[in-house]
Amino acid sequence: MKAVVVLSGGQDSATCLALAVRRYGADEVAAVTFEYGQRHALETRFARRLVRRIPAIVEGRPDARVQHKVVKLGFYGSLTTNALMDPSVKIGRKPGAKCPNTVVEGRNAVFLTLAAVWAKTLGATELYTGVSEADYSGYPDCRGVFIRAQQKAIRLALDYPIRIVTPFAHRSKAYEWALAAKLGILDVVRKETVTCYNGIPGDGCGECPACRLRARGYGEWMSSTKTTR
């Protein structure tokens, strides 16, 4: 095994999966999905489909798929809470707050550390994650400075040369849409991923911050393709 992809079932991680498969082949890639009591537990259902759909397209053989593990972190809501995990809270950003109340404290730190433990077991040394500090919402654990510190901590914890790969660290959503088109997975990403905070697949609710970011990027990409034609 070469790489483990942290697969949430959203646009970013689905595209990461395609990149990892294109680079190493489906047989050398594994994916892990974390369930942490989010509103949109259906993300897992989408992730389970993506580990077949994406490799089949990228490799051009219908039976291609990547090994997939779902890890249940049911306790997460007892350590911290936020609007994604608590249906009674309205999603939004308080005036003056650094980031929206959808932040799940420490999420990427926990996901990357656990994914690294599994990667070592599999003999894989790369971790793919779709985090971005370009089109993001101010979450501290999406910053490059965090990813570098986390990589160092994991390497020391496991005494193992993990590399955290962040293909979209400085990329816009528009770039991701262009890449999806190039990889042949545009339809899958559009219709078979779930990014929406309200858990509506594909184009989503259209109202929440994640849907707006996604739609704006799509619009930007569409405009740019028209310009360059």
Residues that bind its own copies (CB under 8 A): 69, 71-75, 78-81, 98, 105-106, 108-110, 113-114, 116-118, 120-121, 140-141, 143, 145-146, 149-150, 152-154, 156-159
For its own copies, the closer of residues 115 and 189 by Cβ is 115
For its own copies, the closer of residues 138 and 206 by Cβ is 138
Work out the number of other CB atoms within 10 angstroms of the CB of residue 101: 16
List alpha helices for 1-135, DSSP H.
11-24, 42-59, 76-79, 107-122
Minimum distance from CB of 152 to its own copies (Å)? 5
Cα–Cα distance measured from residue 197 to residue 153, given in angstroms and rounded to the nearest whole number = 30
Cα–Cα distance measured from residue 56 to residue 62, given in angstroms and rounded to the nearest whole number = 5
In single-letter form, the type of residue at position 151 comes to Q
Minimum distance from CB of 36 to its own copies (Å)? 11
Cα–Cα distance measured from residue 16 to residue 127, given in angstroms and rounded to the nearest whole number = 10
Task: Find how far residue 50's CA is from the centre of its chain.
Answer: 12
In single-letter form, the type of residue at position 105 comes to E
Minimum distance from CB of 86 to its own copies (Å)? 13
Minimum distance from CB of 99 to its own copies (Å)? 9
For its own copies, the closer of residues 151 and 195 by Cβ is 151
Phi, psi of 106 (to 5 degrees): 75, 5
| Interacting residues of 214 by C-beta distance below 8 A, sequence separation 6+ | 11, 173, 195, 203, 204
Minimum distance from CB of 72 to its own copies (Å)? 6
For its own copies, the closer of residues 79 and 222 by Cβ is 79
For its own copies, the closer of residues 76 and 177 by Cβ is 76
